[in-house]
């Protein structure tokens, strides 16, 4: 059986080729490591490409008084102080340099009058801080990183999916994967592994995420023994498309509001006045998402169950210049001209604040040699992420993870591959071809329905318990999941594996949500509607205890005095 | 579009005639798909996967026209299936969906586009002018940002007759990479010249500006007018300008 796969050897294996994975690969290579980069799709198609609004970095090009202290304090406030303060500090301090670096690698940002990188306003940021390229900042970023990485000579394994991490005792030894095209298996030997696989959007029915976002990296890390942190915090972006049905959930960039877009209910009321009179539409995402949801639930929604978002008071040419892809998206997919009338928008599952617990300086997980960066990692954003802080997160912690992984690999011996682990990985992949249960698509639909209706924007004890029951009932169905056809490029087969990750991590989300009896940031409990100071001092941690999911709390690390003082001053 | 829209209102089902098979052969297979308002061809393909053919091979990612993964030939025209509305197609007859013709078939609607990634590797990356102050005027940036909009859907590569009909993959880079090179060459702070590469390795001369690429570009990049023609002019200036040829001869360069 063991002759059924090819092997490749690297010092550092990076899983995921979005912004974090690419930045990690570039850095690991620059530090002398032999780097392999594995991605589920073609290079350049990862979700980073969809990022629209911009990269948050306190460069002070537009608002001169902006600096890292203000960015740090906005990030902590947005995250309701559950953030890893050290990550928030490093992120705010290093983001401007990471943006300049992109520019030096050929990225072309929009400019100010004086020729510097232009910055725009965004929710929760107290200054104009988002470096951007119209509304396609992510495309500019991924293309720049991709070209830099390719030019530097990274080995890229495209359309290749990792299904198991391989360990030698407590150490990382490599990873087991399959090629999407042929269905054949491949084993990577590596001393250090960086997980940069993004989030879990596809566990929800209404999401801005693509098929790739099935929590693979979080599940791989959990199974390898790493801690998962604050999994209850799932971000619902306030503005997804709601009509027509085929595009439900598709992202409408926050830049629409950053450029002056106004939210109204069907009665024409500017309802953000009730929810956040000071910041209005540019409040944080958790607040705006709840506001829209509440308007709809209380009968003041639009015909298709959303709110109106209007930018048509701005000159048409300005809208087309600053929001070109939104203009086309609505025109082509919804027959709406956003320069003359409002869009209909509603919340969509967008981002995972929780994830793999990492050390702030090195991005190392609680397993030696296993690193995580980007959305797959947790800590920076606390209970709610500010728009624009994701792209900067990818760069800052992608670089740190790449450096630390390369350093670690230099000193570590190669692990021994265990044929037993490989055989298990092969068996579990091939099992669906032998089974006689149901197809994966039905199980996926039921999982999405459960998460969407019971573990969504508003939660309560009864719903969360019901969700745990439903997830429990999906497990035996998934054990018997079947698939037809061959191993050649077979999406149904791939989904059988993705579902395992989604189901596992959905359970982690639900258990954490049930435990946190308060409302904080993106986690809103109807039965515990207020912030609870005691819970503000605790992180939820999920770990694998001999095959059983264990949940525990640990105290949030206390902030040093100088940062506490800084927060008090910037109130 | 109005007739097609009327059509759509009349139909609650459509037939998709989807190519199924691999390099050794295949055939179109008909699937009946229920129609929903605003549905795009990619939705219909997903519905076939979920209900009728779980192993139907389709590439996709963003479903928002931003990643360029879901390219196929719909009723003979190369398109992003995520941006092709069913109600713009004549639903009274089967809608044919076929893989891109210019690349080797893997399975069903998925082709091997790895050649594009090989071509990309040949292009020298951005290299900044020394001592750069990193100040740029928006007007200069605008010109290049048009090229940077490219989502690498490879529809332009697919329709280019140099690749589609003459299979010059070994000696020709294709419109996508002329756009990429134009983005580098016209970058206000770039210091390299890629004219020799364009002339010798990218086969820019094969392009006879029929504009097929521009026509299919979902990002509406003016590939021929704004990228290819200015690049052709650069190559001419550098290699075929009689005055400069004389200068080079005298200098012995």
Note the pLDDT of residue A305: 94
Q: Which positions in chain B touch A140 (Cβ < 8 Å)? A: 148
Percent of chain A with pLDDT over 70: 99
Give the whole-angstrom CA distance, residue B252 versus residue B249. Answer: 5
For chain A, the domains span 239-348, 419-555
State whether B198 and B121 are in the same domain: yes
Residue A2 has pLDDT above 60, yes or no: no
CA distance B250 to chain A (A): 36
Q: Which positions in chain A touch B55 (Cβ < 8 Å)? A: 483-486, 490-493
Give the whole-angstrom CA distance, residue A497 versus residue A178. Answer: 11
Q: Which positions in chain A touch B105 (Cβ < 8 Å)? A: none
Note the pLDDT of residue B7: 52
Q: What is the DSSP annotation of A253-306?
A: -THHHHTT-EEE-TT---THHHH-TTTGGGS-HHHHHHHHHHHHHTT---TTSS
Give the whole-angstrom CA distance, residue A289 versus residue A203. Answer: 19
Cβ within 8 Å of A, B 197-236: none
CB neighbours of A214 closer than 8 A, spacing ≥ 6?
A200, A202, A203, A498, A499, A501, A502
Q: Which positions in chain A touch B190 (Cβ < 8 Å)? A: 106
Give the whole-angstrom CA distance, residue A140 versus residue A51. Answer: 10
Determine, for residues A491 and B69 on separate chains, whether the beta-carbon distance falls below 8 Å. Answer: no
Cβ within 8 Å of B, A 163-222: 181, 210-212
Reported ipTM: 0.95
Give the whole-angstrom CA distance, residue A7 versus residue B242. Answer: 56
State whether B75 and B39 are in the same domain: yes
In a mutational test of the B interface, the residue from A47, A106, A179, A326 whose CB has the highest number of chain B CBs within 10 Å is: A106
Residue length, chain A?
A: 571
Give the whole-angstrom CA distance, residue A449 versus residue A454. Answer: 8
Which tokens in the block code for residue A130? 């988002």
User: Three-state DSSP class for B167?
Assistant: coil
Residue of chain B with shortest Cα separation from A159: B59
Domain end marker among B56, B77, B111 = B111
Determine, for residues B135 and A103 on separate chains, whether the beta-carbon distance falls below 8 Å. Answer: no
Q: Is A257 a catalytic residue?
A: yes
CA atoms within 13 A on the CB side of A32: 5
Note the pLDDT of residue A405: 98
Q: Which positions in chain B touch A100 (Cβ < 8 Å)? A: 134
Note the pLDDT of residue A423: 96
CA atoms within 13 A on the CB side of B85: 21
State whether B243 and B139 are in the same domain: yes
Residue A571 has pLDDT above 80, yes or no: no
Mean per-residue pLDDT pooled into runs of 10, chain B (253 residues): 51 96 97 95 97 97 95 98 96 97 97 97 93 90 96 98 96 98 97 96 96 97 98 93 81 69
Structural domains of chain B, count: 2
Give the whole-angstrom CA distance, residue A197 versus residue A218. Answer: 8
Note whether B39 contacts A: Cβ–Cβ < 8 A.
yes
Residue in A103, A211, A246 closest to B61 by CB = A211
For chain B, count helices (H), then strands (E): 11, 7
Give the whole-angstrom CA distance, residue A403 versus residue A238. Answer: 35
Nearest CA among A267, A284, A264 for reference residue A276: A284
State whether B244 and B152 are in the same domain: yes
Q: How many CB pairs under 8 A join A and B?
A: 163
CA distance B36 to chain A (A): 7
State whether B87 and B184 are in the same domain: no
Note the pLDDT of residue B253: 55
Percent of chain A with pLDDT over 90: 98
- Max Cα separation, chain B? 75
CATH number at residue B27: 3.10.20.30
CA distance A461 to chain B (A): 33
Q: Decide: residue A534, CB within 10 A, 0-12 exposed, 13-18 middle, 19+ buried.
A: exposed
Domain covering A239-348 assigned CATH 3.90.700.10 in the classification: yes
pLDDT digits (tens, 9 = 90+) for A64-94: 999 999 999 999 999 999 999 999 999 999 9
State whether B161 and B92 are in the same domain: no
Domain end marker among B111, B134, B155 = B111
Least trusted range by pLDDT, from A19-23, A321-325, B12-16: A321-325
Note whether A262 contacts B: Cβ–Cβ < 8 A.
no
CA distance A59 to chain B (A): 14
Domain around B229? 114-251
State whether B40 and B98 are in the same domain: yes
Give the whole-angstrom CA distance, residue B229 versus residue B238. Answer: 14
- Region A232-242 average pLDDT: 97
Note the pLDDT of residue B6: 45
Output phi, psi for A283, to 5 deg. -70, 175
Note the pLDDT of residue A515: 98
CB neighbours of A297 closer than 8 A, spacing ≥ 6?
none
Which segments of B52-174 does DSSP mark as H helices, in order? Answer: 114-121, 138-148, 155-159, 161-164
Residue pointed to by tokens 């830049």: A255
Q: What is the DSSP annotation of A17-31?
A: -SHHHHHHHHHHHHT
Note whether B120 contacts A: Cβ–Cβ < 8 A.
yes
- Region A511-530 average pLDDT: 97
Enter the CATH code of domain A419-555: 1.20.58.100
Residue A3 has pLDDT above 70, yes or no: no
Give the whole-angstrom CA distance, residue A53 versus residue A134. Answer: 8
State whether B173 and B121 are in the same domain: yes
Determine, for residues A244 and B66 on separate chains, whether the beta-carbon distance falls below 8 Å. Answer: no
Note the pLDDT of residue B38: 92
Determine, for residues B66 and A486 on separate chains, whether the beta-carbon distance falls below 8 Å. Answer: no
Q: Decide: residue A419, CB within 10 A, 0-12 exposed, 13-18 middle, 19+ buried.
A: exposed
pLDDT digits (tens, 9 = 90+) for A198-216: 999 999 999 999 999 999 9
Note the pLDDT of residue B131: 80
pLDDT digits (tens, 9 = 90+) for A557-567: 999 999 999 99
Q: Quick check: do A239-348 and A419-555 share a fold?
A: no
Note the pLDDT of residue B1: 40
Domain end marker among B68, B90, B111 = B111
Give the whole-angstrom CA distance, residue B96 versus residue B28. Answer: 8
Q: Is A304 a catalytic residue?
A: no
Kind of pairing between the strands at B77-80 and B71-74? antiparallel
State whether B153 and B229 are in the same domain: yes
pLDDT digits (tens, 9 = 90+) for A373-429: 999 999 999 999 999 999 999 999 999 999 999 999 999 998 999 999 999 999 999
Q: What is the pTM of this model?
A: 0.96
Kind of pairing between the strands at B25-34 and B13-22? antiparallel
Cβ within 8 Å of A, B 10-29: 22
Catalytic residue chosen out of the listed positions A77, A136, A205, A257: A257
């Amino acid at each position: 059986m063991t002759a059924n796969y090819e092997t490749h050897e690297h010092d550092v294996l990076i899983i995921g080729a979005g912004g974090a994975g690419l930045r990690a690969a570039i850095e690991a290579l620059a530090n002398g490591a032999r780097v392999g980069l594995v991605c589920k799709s073609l290079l350049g198609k990862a979700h980073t490409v969809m990022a629209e609004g911009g990269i948050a970095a306190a460069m002070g090009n537009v608002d001169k008084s902006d600096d890292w202290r203000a960015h740090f304090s906005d990030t902590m406030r947005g995250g309701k102080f559950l953030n890893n303060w050290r990550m928030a500090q490093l992120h705010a301090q290093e983001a401007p340099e990471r943006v300049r670096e992109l520019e030096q690698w050929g990225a072309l940002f929009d400019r100010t009058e004086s020729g510097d990188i232009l910055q725009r306003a965004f929710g929760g940021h107290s200054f104009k801080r988002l470096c951007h390229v119209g509304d396609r900042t992510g495309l500019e970023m991924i293309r720049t990183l991709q070209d830099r990485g390719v030019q530097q000579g990274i080995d890229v394994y495209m359309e290749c999916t990792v299904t198991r991490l391989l360990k030698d005792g407590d150490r990382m030894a490599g990873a087991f994967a399959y090629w999407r095209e042929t269905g054949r298996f491949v084993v990577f030997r590596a001393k250090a592994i960086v997980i940069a696989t993004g989030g879990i959007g596809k566990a929800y029915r209404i999401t801005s995420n693509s098929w790739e976002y099935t929590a693979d990296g979080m599940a791989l890390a959990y199974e390898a023994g790493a801690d998962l942190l604050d999994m209850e915090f799932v971000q619902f972006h306030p503005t997804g498309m709601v009509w027509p049905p085929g595009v439900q959930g598709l992202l409408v960039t926050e830049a629409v509001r950053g450029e002056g877009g106004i939210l109204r209910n069907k009665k024409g009321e500017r309802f953000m006045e009730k929810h956040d009179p000071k910041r209005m539409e540019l409040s944080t995402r958790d607040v705006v998402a709840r506001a829209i949801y509440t308007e709809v639930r209380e009968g003041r929604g639009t015909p298709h169950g959303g709110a109106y978002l209007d930018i048509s008071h701005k000159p048409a040419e300005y809208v087309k210049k600053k929001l070109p892809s939104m203009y086309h998206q609505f025109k082509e997919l919804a027959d709406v001209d956003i320069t003359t009338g409002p869009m209909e928008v509603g919340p969509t599952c967008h981002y995972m604040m929780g994830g793999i617990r990492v050390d702030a300086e090195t991005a190392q997980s609680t397993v030696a040699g296993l690193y995580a960066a980007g959305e797959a990692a947790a800590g920076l954003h606390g209970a709610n992420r500010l728009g624009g802080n994701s792209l900067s997160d990818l760069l800052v912690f992608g670089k740190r993870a790449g450096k630390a992984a390369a350093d670690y690999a230099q000193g570590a011996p190669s692990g021994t591959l265990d044929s037993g682990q490989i055989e298990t990985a092969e068996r579990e992949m091939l099992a669906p071809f032998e089974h006689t249960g149901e197809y994966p698509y039905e199980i996926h639909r039921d999982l999405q329905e459960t998460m969407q209706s019971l573990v969504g924007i508003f939660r309560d004890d009864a719903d969360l318990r019901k969700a745990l029951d439903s997830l429990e009932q999906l497990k035996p169905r998934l054990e018997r999941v079947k698939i037809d056809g061959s191993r050649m490029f077979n999406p149904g087969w791939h989904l059988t594996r993705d579902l395992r990750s989604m189901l596992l991590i959905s359970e982690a989300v639900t258990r954490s949500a049930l435990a946190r009896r308060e409302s904080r940031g993106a986690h809103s409990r109807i039965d515990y509607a207020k912030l609870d100071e005691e819970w503000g001092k605790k992180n939820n941690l999920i770990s694998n205890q001999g095959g059983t999911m264990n949940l525990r709390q640990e105290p949030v690390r206390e902030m040093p005095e100088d940062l506490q003082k800084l927060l008090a001053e910037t109130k | 579009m109005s007739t097609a829209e009327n059509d759509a209102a009349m139909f609650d089902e459509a037939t998709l005639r989807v190519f199924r098979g691999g390099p050794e052969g295949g055939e179109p297979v008909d699937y009946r798909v229920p129609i929903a308002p605003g549905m795009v061809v990619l939705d219909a393909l997903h519905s076939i996967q979920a209900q009728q053919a779980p192993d139907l091979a389709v590439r996709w990612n963003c479903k928002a026209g931003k990643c360029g993964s879901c390219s196929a030939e719909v009723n003979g025209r190369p398109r992003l299936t995520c941006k092709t509305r069913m109600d713009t197609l004549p639903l009274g007859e089967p809608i044919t969906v076929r893989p891109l013709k210019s690349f080797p078939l893997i399975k069903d609607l998925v082709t091997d586009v790895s050649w594009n990634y090989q071509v990309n590797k040949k292009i020298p990356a951005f290299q900044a002018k020394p001592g750069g102050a990193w100040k740029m005027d928006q007007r200069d940036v605008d010109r290049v940002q048009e090229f940077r909009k490219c989502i690498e859907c490879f529809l332009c590569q697919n329709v280019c007759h140099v690749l589609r009909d003459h299979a010059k993959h070994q000696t020709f880079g294709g419109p996508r990479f002329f756009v990429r090179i134009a983005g580098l060459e016209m970058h206000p702070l770039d210091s390299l010249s890629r004219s020799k590469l364009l002339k010798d390795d990218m086969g820019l001369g094969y392009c006879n500006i029929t504009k097929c690429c521009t026509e299919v570009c979902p990002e509406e990049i003016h590939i021929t007018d704004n990228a290819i023609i200015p690049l052709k002019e650069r190559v001419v200036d550098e290699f075929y300008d009689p005055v400069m040829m004389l200068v080079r001869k005298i200098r012995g360069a």
